[in-house]
Structures are given as structure tokens and as C-alpha cells.
Structure 1
């Protein structure tokens, strides 16, 4: 017999708030979400995605046109250029903000007037699955809630996490080098507020259930506006306790379960995605028992794939892939190799040696990249992420420096991502092959801005119309590869995957459709030298007809071999 929703929710709340009446709190949360206590659950282990799903990641104002709101311009670009390419659009925080390009939110229920309106958001949601950020760990120091915190007024008085300089904070895991505690003058005197990321981003206090109540109301509003995919930003840091690392605490995991439970009962097709830029083993815990995140960002993929392509050696990428557990039905990976942030280095802990990390950093710096740091428990500053546009990150190799294989290497990276288990997500600057934006980084004073440039729509149209432009060549080829991928059942995000052993210069894996009616052998030359592979090494079934989906080349002689040019990929399938 299925457990009633209220009872299940109350059991989760008891873990987080053992000192409160969990039944009463459950009732309040259900009312805030517009749910009945005995609401029917969605089907168990339901995949709200398939092989046709491709996510685009973009800021609301990445593409601009004079005298037009950027959300209007973005919608036009999406419909004109990507309607047959992407199924979902992640619009990075489009709310009023005070810093960090949107991640210091001032008002969760308003659209930044300079971007557009809620009606513009709803129109995009009408044509694409819409992903929005739930910036749940912290809020702007210039928000109304924080002003009320200073004045000791509601709502906001107890909404932010306070600590003392005498608290035991030595074990707290930090993603930045800025001070953890910052003094704030309030009506009750000076207080110290917890700031995981910056002085302008003050951490919220989820030990106060009123904060949870506020966010449940916010989530409901987003759902009503058409949001069906929720990115829980920096959620690993949600619950804080002095004397602990204050990351991945049990209450954090329980709060994710609570939010998922409420979201999927309201909208069964909705998806919760956790953004946890941490070592791989820690990241995997956010699946829970298929009851936390529907999808997790595959944070180890970007640095490992870049390392593979600039060294011409896939040993670490292959070892990592073999260690990755298949996602249970109803869960999946979100694969990406570029985003609005830098290339995280913590996800390589335990996967690359310190010397290999430093070699990668040196190569990226030689290609124009910068390095951001975090502070460790013992007070040392350690490299945290590499800030670089992906197109420039792949402009050469560790040993040879910049070369003429940049575009081919870049395409190879995305061909790998498209074929892997999970949902592929493309940063808009990757689709457009944007290079390092030094001017913007200098203007903002933030290293991450190097990969957060803005385009005039007229400039994009001009570049894409020019067949000699590298922007046009990349955009055209990536669209072609995406189109191929979206038609293959073996590329379903939950289709079977096995790693192939083809040496260090050939990275390969096998995918099989869930109905077992299609197999695809995905083989990628990740080196700058020609590679030959005997077809007998990949065990193609002789009774099937095999074709490379990328080139259209048919494979008739299974006793022969195929030759791959530098950074060439093949998708050998037994059906077209």
C-alpha cells in the first residue's frame, strides 16, 4: 500500500526538524504547493527524457539586439536557429541581482526588467522545456529579505545564517578564498553572517522552516510560469553546522528529497537537477536511492575530457568511465563540457595526480586561460577552476602547444559528449565556438567573465552565414551531429553503456538501446596522429549490417580495419 503523501513528507521533515511538529509543517508545505495530503504520486522510476533531449545553457542576455529586450531576442534566435536542435533551454538566473552575473538574487519572484518579463519567459517555456536556477544556498546582501534581517523585521529577520568568530569553523569546506564570516550591523548590534561564496551572497538559514516554506512557494510560482527543470545551485552547502565541513550534511540530502517530492507531485514531468561541483564520489551521492536528484551534473567529464584531448591519452577518462555506475531508471547524468563557470578541478580529485592537474593548468594558461583559487582547511590557496573558453582550451596539446587541429579537437569533444550515457547540455558559447573574451573579463574584474561574453544578433547572423568562419563550421557540424544523435534509440540517456579497451589513443564505448534493437560502437581518435583499428577488436556481429552514422560509410568486410584521422570519430551502428 502506498504511503500517503503527508505521512511520507512528515517523515522526511522529522529528520531535518526533529524539534517541530512535522505533521503540522507537512500540512503547511502541502498547502503552499497546492497539493492534497493524499495526492497520487507520479509513476515510479519514470524517465522524463529520451534520446531527443538536448539542453542549451545560456544567459538571458547573451544575445542582444538594439532596442529589444534580450529575452525576446533569445526566443527569436532559438526558434530561427535551434528549434530542430535543442529540446530544453536553461536560462541562467534571469532575476534582479546585485553581483555574480545573476547568482546574487535580489528578488526570486521578479524578472530582471533589463532582460524582459514573465510573459517572455512563458513564451520560451511554450516552445522548449524550460530550466531555471533555484539559487537556494544564498541571497543578495541588497535584497529586501536581508534589509529586513538588518532591521530585525519579518520576512527576513531569521532567514540568514549567523555564526560567531569563536565557533569551530576549521573544517568548513570552502570554494573561495574570501572570508567565510562577514560583520553586519543590525538593530541588535553587530552580527556575523555566513558567506560561502562572497560578501554579497549571504547564506540562507534552512534551520528556520520559514525559509523552506518561502522556497516551496517560489517553486510553485516557477512551475506555474512554465519551469519544468530545476537546477539546485550550490545545493551541497545548504545546511551548515560549526564543527563540521558544512557540505553534504544529512539535512541537505533530506531537503533535496523534500523538494523533489513536492515538485514531482505537483508536476510529474518536472526534473530536479543538483549542481555540486565536488569530487566524483561525493557528486554521485546526490542520486540518493533514486529519490533525490533526477539528474546530476557530470562534473568530472569536462576536466577529464579536456585533459584527454590535450595529452592524447585516454587512460584516466577510460578508468573514470568504467567506474561510473549506470543511473537507475528515473535518474540520469547531465553531461556537459563547458558552462558559464570555469572548468572545475575538484572533480578530478582522485582521478588525476597533482602533477597531471598542474600540467593541465599550465597548458590552459598557455592557451590564454586563468586560474581561480579556493582556501583549504589548513589555510592554503589551491587551484579551484580554470577560466577559459572551451574553444581556446582545445587549441593545442600539452607537448606541442597550439596547432591546426583546434576545430577538429573541439568537434571530437562534443562527439564524445553526445554519445555518452546521459543528457547532453551545450553551453551557447560552445555551439558558437566563442573564444576567450579578455575585454569582458577586464571590464568586470572577474575571471569567469572570460567565458561569459555577449553577442550582437547581427554579428551571429553574419558569422553563421559565412561558410569560411570557424563559428559557422562548428555550428553547422554540431547541429548535424545532434540531429543524428536524436534519432538513435541506443543514445537514450539510460541505454546500456560499456567501455571498450582500444589502447590509449582511441577512446571507445558501446551503447545498446533499451529494446536491444540497436547497438552503436562509439570510437574516437583523441590524438593528433592517424590511428588504425582492426574491426575484429570491437566484435561486430557478422549477421548485422554496419554503418558509420557520422560519415555514412558502410562496413562490409568485418575482417578488415578502419583508419581514423586525428580527432575523427565514428558511430558504428547496426541500423540507420
Structure 2
């Protein structure tokens, strides 16, 4: 697409191209291909516009766009008939359903390999999980893996997990049981052992242009002046010297992860091919790792830039054309105002990423647990509630990553607290350095210059179970179990697709074996990535054990969720006024159905005025608690719902 083309002449050229290219590729608008033909025609205008917005000045824009169209047609035609049927069977926004519940896991740490995972599908069915996020599976060099996010081959399953054949067999077995699959793709970078990087090291200029490579430090120094360091302790700076070719390459995360240069449209096409390769494996939701970083621009932070959003919209448009049943998740762990943009804005609202992580609310849950105060959480909701209809959150209490405290200072100030002191308290509390704290976490990525740090630790250890077990504290154990189930319930019912991190469903405490592994010992996040002991997991069937109490409670919560269609993500979350600062309450309403979630984050019995249930529409008369099975009559305004320490209720309004 030359820069002299007018939009009208460009459209004519593109449609002429599709016509001639279709014939060359035996792609005629036959009956069996009519859906693809329709998607191509319907999606071509936005595809052209998005591509032009990014690449209109690039000298190879024309021929690369033609390659992109050829790629879409090729992968769409290669899509298996059963996957096409699955595409057609999925309703629009299928992923908003209350019937979905997920688990995220490392295959090797969960059950060694993909073949064994196939044999564990009954475990997920028993728990009520029907959606699996398998942490990175594709080839990654040992010792330079970054947990699998330094990929050396996007299309070869790492041998430690099995083979591509094993992955496809697992997917087919999952789909027979109406389960869904989520995998990761790392768009921002490759391993320095990837074929492209190896060719760049060897001096191939075509592949050197796949990365940000420079002959000297002049331009890297300019970038470094405005780009923050992601891992200042373990990986300072943003560039690494490559002796094989005497050049400097951009490495924002680790020196073995080379950032891809999307200013080159050939990189876009190559990575779209990988995206569609995963689509044709049968992936239902593709998690795009670190999308905030995919576009770099000198003089900026090179994070959350407008061009990054243009790229994501372009990729989404490609997916819609070639594999319409696959949704996209943008793993943007950024401030709430920035997270919302990853769903799309303006004409592209709800047309960028289908999902994002509700990382802000996850961190706010931990804020409430430590302080027993819900006010900072409530102050932050205005931004989070801007999520557009038709998109959804991944909601969770823990994941493979650390807990950041990145919500805005203004929200902390709004409730009369000092941001620095407030975060210092949270870090001290969850690392066990605050007097009386039951938590046994650790600080991750501490920056002594700024005082910033994040928090590592398993759900159970942060809730006090590890310390209580060490001390033989029976009351502490009971309270820890109560906290675990309350935290999970809170994330299950606020809206979005709940994602349990493996081990949390059974109460795993911190796993310190990582300290004996040189490839992991520098990263304390491995303490909450346990090796599963299936003897321990089998104790879920022994009445009264800790494992049974947590597993049964989690299973019950997921069953309640699946029984309440009002919990589907209809953008129907309303927070209740803070009549008691220790109690977080919300209303989920759709049609004539209403469900209240009430959670006491305090260590003392809480009293919530019945007036809290009278502020939104018709006053209910009776409420059924799906958690305890009790029924409540809504009382007078000077009477109270009494909630035990760390207790909660899932209250459905009963018809009179």
C-alpha cells in the first residue's frame, strides 16, 4: 500500500486482490466457504484501516498486506471441520456465561506431562472446573525460560510436557467433556535461541530487522532515558550487547528475551501466523502476554502506547476473520484507567481484547483482608466499572504472578490514608513483618531506591494457614480456611470468569523447594507455584481434613455460581453503600433476578443494617443464602444482618 493511494483506490485494489488471490488459492465463494467469504468482506474495511494506521509509510506495506490476507485465507481453510462446527455453535459472547469456571496450572508441576493431564480431567469435573489455562507449553531453553515466557519455538511443545500430538489429544478429550482451553502467546519477545534471533546473530539483516538492534549505544541510551526498568535487581537496563554480531538488542524483561520490532510489518504477519496456528490447535481463549509493551517509541515509556492498541485491534480483526470462535485475553497488569483501554475505545469499543485480568480488584481484595477496611476498594471501583458490555474479566485471588499494589494513590488519599505508609503496612503484613500478622509471604522485586515491592505467596500462606499449622493453632487454622473460602467466593461472584490457581483448591502452602534450583532460586514467585502431591490431593475425600474442607467449599461455591444465571457477566454489578466499613457488599441484578454478595473482611463479628438492601429498587422481603442454606427476612432499618468474622453470604431475593 503506497502512501500515495487514496482510500477509494486502495479498497478497489484490495478487493481486486482478494478476487484474483481467491482464484489462485482455489478459494471460490462456494457454499462451504460462504461464511469465510462473508467474514472477509465484512472485515476488510476495518482491517485495511487498522493496517494503514500503523504501516502506511513502510516501503513494503503493500506486499506485506497481501501476505497477511493470504495468511488469513490459508489458516481459515485449514481449520478442522470440528473446530468450524464449534465456532458456529458458540453463541456471541459465549465467554460471559456463569457456567464457566477455570483453573490455571503448570502442567509439569501439576502432573508431569500432557498425557497425565488428560487422565486428570475427572478431577476438574469433580471440582466443577470446565476451563483450563495451561501455563506456557512451547519450547523454552532450560535456565533461560522465565517460566516458559522465553519461547524458542512457538510451534513445538517443550519435550518435558510431551508433544504437539499430546496437546491435540488433550484438547479433543476436553471438548468431549464440554471443557475449554486457554493457552499463552508471547507477542512481545522471543528467546535469544529462537530461529529468528539466531539468524540475526549470524548477521542476516532481514532478521536483525525483526528486533530492535543497533550498532552502538546512542539510540539505546535515548530509549533508556525514558523507559523504566522492569526487573531492576535481576535484569537492569533495557538493552543487551550481542557479541556474535557486535550489536545492541532491546531486552526489556531479561537479557535472553529479545523484543520484537512491530514497526516491521513482516513481524506482524509472522506473529499472526502463530496466533492462527494456536487457533487451529483448538484454543478457545488465547492469552496475549504483556501486550502493553508491544510497541516501542523513543522518548516514551514504551508502554500502553496507542500503536499497541492498534496492533491488538488488527490482530483481533484477523482472528475474527480466520477463527471466529477464539477469544483474546490481554494480560495488561496496569493502572485501571489503562486496563479499560485494552477492551477497545471509540469505534473499537469491545473490539480489541475480549478479556483482561481484573488485577486491580485482586490486589484490593488483599488490601481489604489486611486492613479489614473496604473503603480503598470502593474508591477504586469507578474506573473498574467502565469495562464495556460484551467483554469480561478474569477474576482471581491468586495466579502464577506476584501481587502488585498498583492502584492509584488518589484512591488511598480519598479515604484519609497516606499512600506510602498504607503500602508499607501491606508489604509488612503479608511478608509477616507486622506484629501479629498471620501471613507468610515474601517481597518480590524490591526496589530500594523507590521502596516499591510486590508480594509473593500462596493463597493459603497469605491467609495464615502455613503459620497456624506450624504453631498448631486450631483457631488460626479454622480462620485461615474461612479466609480462603471468603476470598475465593468474593472473586467468583463479582462478575467475570473465575480462575483458580492450581493448589489453591486444596490449600497448598508455600513451596520452598525452588531455593534448591539454580534456575528458579532467584525468583521467589516459585514459592506459590507448588509441586502437586497427589497423596495430599486425595485427602480431599477424607471428611474433616483441611484439604476436604477447602476442596468441598470451593466445589460448593462453583456449584452455586453455575446455578445462578444472574451471575453471568451482564455488566450488572452494583456496589452497596459502605454502611459498615468492614463489609463489602454488591448486587447482581438481571431481569427479575437479584443476588447480593455480602463479605465481612473484618476479624470481628460485623453488623450490617437491613437498609443496605433497600437502596436499589423494590425492597426484598426474603433472602435465601445459597452458602448456608438459611433464609432471612429483611428487617427494620435499625436491625442488622449479623456476619461472623470473615463470613459471607450469597443472598438471592425470593419472590413474595
Settle same-fold status: TM greater than 0.5.
yes
Match of 1:193 in 2: 249
User: 1:204 maps to what in 2?
Assistant: 260
Paired with 2:334 and 2:463, the residues of 1 have a C-alpha distance of 23
Q: Note if 1:120 corresponds to 2:172.
A: no
Which SS does the other structure have where 2:313 is aligned? helix
Q: 1:172, 1:244 within 8 Å by CA — same for their partners in 2?
A: yes
Quote how far apart the aligned CAs of 1:62 are: 2.2
Report how far residue 424 of structure 1 moved: 1.2
Per-residue deviation at 1:410? Answer: 1.4
The residue number in structure 1 matching 2:572 is 496
Give 1:280-359 correspondences, 5 Å limit: 280-288=336-344, 289-347=349-407, 350-352=410-412, 353-359=419-425
What residue is the counterpart of 1:9 in the other structure? 47
1-structure distance, mates of 2:390, 2:230 = 30
Counterpart in the other structure of 1:145: 196
Question: SS in structure 2 opposite 1:493?
Answer: coil
Does the residue aligned with 1:509 lie in a helix, a strand or coil? strand
Report the equivalent of 1:512.
589
Match of 1:567 in 2: 646
2:208 counterpart of 1:157: yes
User: Post-superposition shift, 1:117?
Assistant: 1.9
3-state SS in 1 of match to 2:558: helix
Report SS of the residue matched to 1:345: coil
Q: Is the 8 A contact 1:137 1:237 kept in 2?
A: yes
* Secondary structure of residue in 2 paired with 1:524: strand
5+ long unaligned stretches in structure 1: none
Secondary structure at 2:138 match in 1: coil
> Structure 1 residue 550 and structure 2 residue 627: aligned?
yes
Residue equivalent to 2:97: 50
Counting only pairs closer than 5 Å after superposition, residues 178-257 of structure 1 correspond to structure 2 as 178=235, 179-187=237-245, 190-257=246-313
Q: Which residue of 2 aligns with 1:389?
A: 458
| SS of the residue 1:343 aligns to | coil
Is the 8 Å Cα contact of residues 511 and 531 (structure 2) preserved in structure 1?
no
2:284 aligned counterpart, secondary structure: strand
Separation in 2, partners of 1:170, 1:384: 22
Give the Cα–Cα distance (whole angstroms) in 2 for the partners of residues 527 and 427 of structure 1: 24
Q: Is the 8 A contact 2:260 2:267 kept in 1?
A: yes
Given that 1:546 and 1:574 are in contact with CA atoms closer than 8 Å, whether structure 2 keeps it comes out as: yes
Q: State the alpha-carbon separation in 2 of the partners of residues 305 and 557 from structure 1.
A: 27
Gap change, CA 1:24 and 1:158, over 3 Å in 2: closer
- Output the CA distance in 2 between the equivalents of 1:365 and 1:562: 34
Is 1:103 aligned to residue 149 of structure 2? yes
How many Å separate the matches in 2 of 1:543 and 1:421? 22
Q: What do residues 85-137 of structure 1 show as CA deviations (whole Å, max 9, x unaligned)?
A: 12211101001112212111111001111112223322332322111111111
Structure 1 residues 380-418: Cα deviation after superposition (integer angstroms, max 9, x where no partner): 45424211112111219xxxx994521111111111111
Residue aligned with 1:467, SS: coil
Residues 1:524 and 2:599 are matched in the alignment = yes
Q: What CA deviation, in whole Å up to 9, does each residue of 1:273-310 have, x standing for no partner? A: 11111122111111112121111111112221011012
Q: Over the residues paired in the alignment, what is the CA RMSD in angstroms?
A: 2.8
**Structure 1 position 279 matched with structure 2 position 312:** no
Partners of 2:105 and 2:589 in 1: how far apart? 31
CA contact (8 A) 1:239 1:247 kept: yes
| CA pair 522-334 structure 1, distance change in 2 beyond 3 A | same
Worse overlay, 487-496 or 160-169 = 160-169
Distance apart, 1:544 and its partner CA: 5.5
Query: Cα offset for 1:545?
Result: 4.3
State the alpha-carbon separation in 2 of the partners of residues 321 and 14 from structure 1. 36
Distance 1:113 1:369, change over 3 A: same
Partner of 2:29: none
Q: Which residue of 2 aligns with 1:90?
A: 133
- 1:131-169 residue CA offsets vs partner (Å, 9 max, x unmatched): 111111111112222111100238733222224522312
| Alignment-derived partner of residue 609 in structure 2 | 534
Looking at structure 2, the residues matched to 145 and 201 of structure 1 have their Cα atoms a distance apart, in angstroms, of 12
| Structure 1 residue 174 displacement after superposition | 2.9
Q: Distance in 1 between matches of 2:98 and 2:634?
A: 30
Question: Mean Cα displacement is larger for which, 198-207 or 166-175?
Answer: 166-175
**Pairs within 5 Å for 1:68-87:** 70-82=113-125, 85-87=128-130
| SS of alignment partner, residue 563 of structure 1 | strand
TM-score between both structures, scaled by the size of structure 1: 0.90
Q: Could you tell me which residue of structure 1 aligns to residue 16 of structure 2?
A: none
1:451-500 per-position Cα deviation (integer Å, ceiling 9, x unaligned):
11211334422x32333432221111011101101111210112411110
Does the Cα contact within 8 Å between 1:542 and 1:558 map onto a contact in 2? no
Cα offset, 1:185, TM superposition: 1.9
In 2, Cα distance between equivalents of 1:204 and 1:557: 59
Q: Residues of 1 paired with 2:611 and 2:511: CA distance?
A: 46
- 1:527 CA displacement: 0.6
Any conservation in 2 of the 1:412–1:569 contact (CA below 8 Å)?
A: yes
- For residues 321 and 308 of structure 1, the distance between their equivalents in structure 2, rounded to whole angstroms, comes to 14
Instruction: Considering fraction of residues, name the structure with more helix.
Output: 2
User: CA 1:27–1:485 in 2, change beyond 3 Å: closer, same or farther?
Assistant: same
Q: Distance in 2 between matches of 1:108 and 1:155?
A: 19
Q: Secondary structure at the match of 1:566?
A: coil
Task: Output the CA distance in 1 between the equivalents of 2:64 and 2:109.
Answer: 41
> 2-side partners of 1:212 and 1:489: how far apart?
39
Contact 1:97 1:103 in 2 (8 A): yes
SS at match of 2:242: strand
Instruction: Find the aligned partners of 2:402 and 2:75 in 1 and give their Cα distance.
Output: 43
* 2:23 match: none
Deviation digits for residues 27-81 of structure 1, max 9, x if unmatched?
32122122799xxx999974533111112111121223xxxx5212222223234
Show structure 2 runs of 5+ residues with no match: 1-37, 77-86, 413-418, 433-438, 466-470
Q: Please report the TM-score for the alignment, with normalisation by the length of structure 2.
A: 0.80
Do the aligned partners of residues 213 and 349 (structure 1) sit closer, same or farther apart at CA in structure 2, a change above 3 Å counting? farther
Figure out how many residues of one structure are paired with residues of the other and give that number: 559
